[in-house]
Structure 1
Amino acid sequence: MTASAIDPRAGRRCHTALNALHATHYFAPEVRKELGALGVTDPRAVNFAVRAAALGPVGPGAVTATFYNYKYELVARHVPAVWAIAAPDAVLAARARAVDSALRRLLGEQVVASPEMAEAARLALRAAEACSRSARPLYAAHADLPVPEAPHLAYWHAATLLREHRGDGHLTALMSANLDGLQALVTHTATGKGMAPKWVFGTRGWSQEEWDAAKARLRERGLLSGAGELTEQGVALREEIERDTDRLDRAPYEHLGAEGVARLTELGAGFARAAVAAGAFPEDLFGKG
């Protein structure tokens, strides 16, 4: 099968598998421990630091723009102040140590050292070769970081590259759909696949009043029903956004080829299932709340 014959949804499925393992570090106690040792103890500051550190000591505007769905005022309470506590290079080193420990805990030493992990790292890095820096600031910043030598860390690094590459393109699709950061959160949650509202309020800085106001604006557009469910038009818009994101993110998976994508998805899904079974995520993280 040629690269052009790849199902356009195959990249999405592969990304979902890889991103699930990448995302475990946002909830890992090892990250909080390592950042705490640097003096960064507020959970929100930890979150901003570990994801934005690759950008360098940026201000709240750059973080809000690249993260997209966080309230600016929340970001500004922690950025750039966090860089005075821990410089970006120190945060990146702490993150690497934390990810190493977390993956060993969640997957076990046997899986971390397995031939399958090394194979997954090779495949994911091969896919990432075709990623583009243009208009993708979070991907581009992480692409400037060195590839770790240990296979499990190389795999995590490549998963991060692929996640941020797709994520940067996803923001383009959201903007094209005229959804601001909060409206994107509301509609994603309404699909049942996004974070539950309590987690949005706790991590993104939005209030219940702002959430309700965003829902009202979406109802005016015909995207949400009175009960807060996506209307037929809303479902169609979310599907269009995902198709646009697939299109903007197709290069790495076409580069890897259908056989490689299928194998990487298989391996990544297995690692993700193991991490979830080990309790990597809070039980109430996802859902409509």
Structure 2
Amino acid sequence: MTNTLPPRAGRRCHNALNPLHATMYFSPDLDREFAALGFTDANAVRLAARSAPLGAVGPGTVAATFYNYDHAFLTRHFPAVWETASPADVLAARLRAVDATLRRLLGEETVSSPEMAEAAVLALRATEACTRHARPLYAANADLPVPDAPHLAYWHAATLLREHRGDGHLAALLSVGLDPVEALVSHTATGKGMTPHRVLDSRGWPRSAWDAAADRLRERGLLDAEGELTETGTALREELELHTDRLDSAPYDHLGATGADRLTELGRGFLVTAAMAGAFPADLIGKD
């Protein structure tokens, strides 16, 4: 495609697709499928669901690829999760849960609609320009087969695009010098990240680590006394996103402006429907 994308078009498209991927992590369907495999811990369910494409990895690999999880917390779950179920069984359960989740949130008419089929084609076309080098979570998911059903193919493509951007984002975090907890604290301070209590519960950090990271950000002039981003902090977070945009431009350049706009439009429609159906907890985003 040769039509040039406007600034941040790729980010806007990502922001439309990524949350629908993420509905899985808040879905009772995921809990039900994993309970049938023998899982009893909610954090273990979500850690296994995301890491399964990597194979039966240990806590070190998960800490490296997920970036912002406490390694000590991960050692309580890995490699034990693979004694509960194999990665292959986890992946099969994950896809069954996604199928049930999307049917429940979007409805059968939307799942089987021409718009869903169109979105799947566009999203998969965007992934054609994704690259595997230095992108472990993307590369692992890219080795999985594309599901036949359009709504599952769309979810699969959204997952690839999410992890492709995410892998690049980790490189950007390193480039601006934000460690795992500093990244979480500064993201929450934007008002667009998860609330601190949800971050601490799901990422495994103690409150003392959160407070220490906030102190370090204040010392760098990125956070003020009330925990809000300073002008410098806001500028750093925006440069972080712009750097991520640059590293993630290829899929959307490949899709072209018209294709990216259409995929964004379709993705936003699905996302609004899912959100109105209760896909996300009311206290998910904010500063507590």
TM-score over 0.5 for the pair: yes
TM-superposed CA distance for 1:207, in Å, is 1.6
Matching residue of 1:148: 147
Unaligned runs of 5+ in 2: none
Q: CA deviation at 1:2?
A: 3.1
The residue that corresponds to 1:40 in the other structure is 39
The equivalent of 1:169 in structure 2 is: 168
In structure 2, the residue matched to 1:197 is 196
Please name the residue that 2:75 is paired with: 76
Q: Is the 8 A contact 1:224 1:230 kept in 2?
A: yes
Identity score, percent: 68
Please tell me whether the aligned partners of residues 139 and 164 of structure 1 are also in contact (alpha carbons under 8 angstroms). yes
The aligned counterpart of 1:181 is 180
Look up the SS of the partner of 2:271 in the other structure: helix
For residues 123-160 of structure 1, give each alpha carbon's deviation from its aligned partner in whole angstroms, at most 9, with x where no partner exists: 00000000000100000000000000000000000000
Q: Matches of residues 40-189 of structure 1 in structure 2 within 5 Å?
A: 40-189=39-188
Which structure 2 residues correspond to residues 228-239 of structure 1 after superposition, within 5 A?
228-239=227-238
Contact in 2 for aligned 1:54/1:92 (Cα 8 Å): yes
Give the equivalent residue in structure 1 for 2:269. 270
| Contact kept in structure 2, 1:8 and 1:250, CA below 8 Å | no
Greater Cα offset, 34-43 or 112-121: 34-43
For residues 13 and 167 of structure 1, the distance between their equivalents in structure 2, rounded to whole angstroms, comes to 15
Q: Could you give the per-residue CA deviations for residues 231-284 of structure 1, whole angstroms, max 9, x where no partner exists? A: 000000000000000000000000000000000000000000000000001000
What amino acid is aligned across from residue 128 of structure 1 in structure 2? T
Deviant stretches of 4+, over 2 Å:
none
TM-score, normalising length: structure 1: 0.99
Q: CA deviation at 1:20?
A: 1.0
2:21 partner amino acid: H
- Does the CA-based 8 Å contact 1:49-1:91 persist in structure 2? yes
Provide the C-alpha distance between the structure 2 equivalents of 1:184 and 1:70, rounded to a whole number of angstroms.
11
CA-based RMSD of the aligned residues comes to 0.8
- Whether 1:16 aligns to 2:19 is no
Maintained 8 Å contact 1:174/1:241: yes
Secondary structure of the residue aligned to 1:257 is helix
Match of 1:243 in 2: 242
